[in-house]
Structure 1
Amino acid sequence: MLPWQTDPENYETLFAQKCAHVEEDLLALSPPVADRFSSPAESYRVRAEFRVWHDEDDLNYVMFDPADPRTPVVIEDFAPALAPIRELMPRLRDYLKPRPALRKKLFQAEFMATTTNELLVTLIYHRPLDEQWEQEAYQLAAEFGISLVGRSRKQKRVIGQDFVSDQFCVNGRWYHYRQYEQSFVQPNAPVNQKMLNWAWEHSRECPGDLLELYCGNGNFTLPLASQYPNVIATELAKSGTKAALENLQNNGIDNVQVVRLSAEEVSQAMAGDREFRRLAALPQPLSDYELRTVFVDPPRAGLDSATLECVRQFDTILYVSCNPTTLKQNIQDLNNTHSVHSFALFDQFPYTQHIESAVLLKQR
């Protein structure tokens, strides 16, 4: 199906078929029966991005079919998006149409929403943003009660704030997250809630201190921290480490150390191949931590060979994957030292072939 299409009546059937395909592909690894976590059939995405199409006095949001990339498809209602985005889209479009200072050379519109109904809109232009744009942008933000970011080449104007704040409940505790514009966030809010609780519940089986790779804004870090004496969370992106530090402080969590390192650099440090000045800021030497559990949520390429050798040292591995193919390969690579004890499938991406997988591996 195309990105803007949904099929609520057949959602459960499509989800079951997708799960069965992944389960069959992993059958040779003898995993336990997968726990399946579905998504709402509509209104689940926290983000939506559209090209803005100008046709004389008309203005529309459009997307493109990969099979016909030159023909714009007008999007009247983007059913996958959270309700605040769906409600704002037509109202914002109609507001922009008669206002040249806001619509001139407007190229793209990006929406970011939360389960608490906060909204952030980014408008991207192919022209410099001047004082008139800023004056009218303030009026726009006030009209709709939103934060607004204007972007053009070498320009970023922020009206309100360039982030939204969301919250998720894990084991009865609410965690509050600051999520920045144009930074990675989990796309499906209801499914993210389920993933957080699955990870927290299964981390109860995992001993020692925790090392987390690819921590991003601290999505998993915050609830997992309650299960461990100490956590070292690593992330390479500056925006991710900034958000993670702010989220830890805002939630009163003080047993996590965030270090800006790549997974490859962490592997080198764990192996003693390199020393990193960023690790010198830890309250104690890396070797003094009882790092027996590792949590990884890598990009689609999965874990590289050096990182695989690093995680092989751990008693338990909690692995969240957006690509079952690379997850399968990584499990096969670890098969001589670890076996799968828990397996889950989360439908982060309804109506597509993509699915989020999670496994708990323990040393043999």
Structure 2
Amino acid sequence: MPNSDYSPAAYLEQLHAKQARLESLLHEFNAPAPQVFASAEQNFRLRAEFRLWREEGQRHYAMMTPGDKRTPILIERFPIASTLINQLMPRLKEAWSTSTALSERLFQVEFLTTLSGEALITLCYHRPLDEAWHAAATALAQDLNVSIIGRSRGKRTVIGRDYVVEKLEVAGRVFTYRQPEGAFTQPNGAVNTHMLNWAYEALGAQTDDLLELYCGNGNFTLPLSTRVRKVLATEISKSSVNAALANLADNQIENIELVRLSAEELTQALNKVREFRRLANIDLDSYQFGTVFVDPPRAGMDPDTCELVRRFPRILYISCNPDTLAENIRQLSDTHKITKTALFDQFPWTDHMESGVLLERK
């Protein structure tokens, strides 16, 4: 939604337009009106990535004009980014401006921050990193109170930790999350907290088990595990699986089994089409699944996965693409009906929206 007006009134107008679009897409399914969770208008984004652009002998933060790699937009402040990112940006720029060891062939900078106040900065280079860089980066990390990662031609040098730790409160309990550099995390922490609490309430207290597909670093897995007997969660990304396993241990949660499988592979396993060594120590027949939770990529669920989730009395679905959400619901609508709907404005000032639905067997 391109717009040069970033006033509160303009934000509400955009949010209402998103709500209308979601309601229109779900109208044919007689969905209830969505519960709407707004975002802050500024300082909501916890991560940011900038190219660096040389002009008049200085490197500047920049983003490229869409479709035009030759026309940079030079940036001094980035209002949609977290307050911490905006505090770090000028201090980092001053550091590279006065240090050849830090600035030589530096071409990209990435920030990852948390609501809990942690930060990790990734510096990307077109050269090998030497001892002079390591000494300068170590001093900078101490000065900024951050972790720093240097990336150079497939090599990675970590000063501090290669992850940040986020703390999110769900239903009065604080969960901690390791969020590794380069792995997917929800960019809008405050709205993510709304998503977690909505999913927790939508699921309700159950006496049976939960199957989760696309579990990532365990963002939803941790709080939802407190609502069921036990959880079987799957994720294909190795870095996300490692983070999720660490998060289970850090939060002392013991009723979750995590398996590195794609949704398609798990479908094959549950249908007994294939056996997987990664499931060798898991008795699938011991689970009494009452709910399946899915948070798929923008393409949505493939038809076979849709047929798999149809088996469950409850389908809790978080979507980053309302069009593929509607397509998936259309495939499920002969057996399930929508009983709860939500809109989460993860990405203010854009067309993108996150939504949630609870489908229950008719």
TM-score, with normalisation over the residues of structure 1?
A: 0.97
**Stretches of structure 1 lacking an aligned partner (at least 5 in a row):** none
Give distance in 2, aligned partners of 1:332 and 1:207.
29
Give distance in 2, aligned partners of 1:166 and 1:108.
24
The CA deviation string for residues 234-292 of structure 1, in whole angstroms up to 9 with x for no partner, is: 0000001100010011001000000000000010011111111111122xx10121012
Paired residue type of 2:331: D
Q: CA-atom RMSD, angstroms?
A: 1.5
Choose the corresponding residue for 1:359, options 352, 357, 360. Answer: 357
Partner of 1:93: 93
Paired residue type of 2:70: R
Partner of 1:215: 215
After TM superposition, the runs of 4+ consecutive aligned structure 1 residues lying more than 6 A away are 2-5
> Do 1:2 and 1:65's aligned partners in 2 also have CA atoms closer than 8 Å?
no
Cα pair distance change 1:14/1:49, threshold 3 Å: same
> Do 1:343 and 1:357's aligned partners in 2 also have CA atoms closer than 8 Å?
yes
> Do 1:5 and 1:79's aligned partners in 2 also have CA atoms closer than 8 Å?
no
Give distance in 2, aligned partners of 1:70 and 1:223.
45
Cα deviation for residue 154 of structure 1 reads 2.1
> Do 1:235 and 1:262's aligned partners in 2 also have CA atoms closer than 8 Å?
yes
Give distance in 2, aligned partners of 1:3 and 1:150.
36
Paired residue type of 2:48: A
Give distance in 1, aligned partners of 2:337 and 2:4.
39
Cα deviation for residue 68 of structure 1 reads 3.6
Partner of 1:293: 291
Cα pair distance change 1:281/1:5, threshold 3 Å: farther
Aligned to 1:239, what secondary structure does the other structure show?
Answer: helix
The CA deviation string for residues 272-315 of structure 1, in whole angstroms up to 9 with x for no partner, is: 11111111122xx1012101210000000000011011101111
Partner of 2:112: 112
Cα deviation for residue 25 of structure 1 reads 2.4
> Do 2:206 and 2:229's aligned partners in 1 also have CA atoms closer than 8 Å?
no
Give distance in 2, aligned partners of 1:9 and 1:242.
43
User: Aligned pair count?
Assistant: 362
Partner of 2:167: 167
The CA deviation string for residues 55-94 of structure 1, in whole angstroms up to 9 with x for no partner, is: 2531210001215432001011111111100111011111
Partner of 1:176: 176
Taking every aligned residue pair, what percent have the same amino acid on both sides?
Answer: 49
**Stretches of structure 2 lacking an aligned partner (at least 5 in a row):** none
Give distance in 2, aligned partners of 1:165 and 1:222.
15
Partner of 1:151: 151
Give distance in 1, aligned partners of 2:289 and 2:25.
32
Aligned to 1:227, what secondary structure does the other structure show?
Answer: coil
Aligned to 2:22, what secondary structure does the other structure show?
Answer: helix
Partner of 2:128: 128
Q: Where in structure 2 are the equivalents of 1:184-199 lying within 5 Å? A: 184-199=184-199
Q: Where in structure 2 are the equivalents of 1:296-307 lying within 5 Å? A: 296-307=294-305
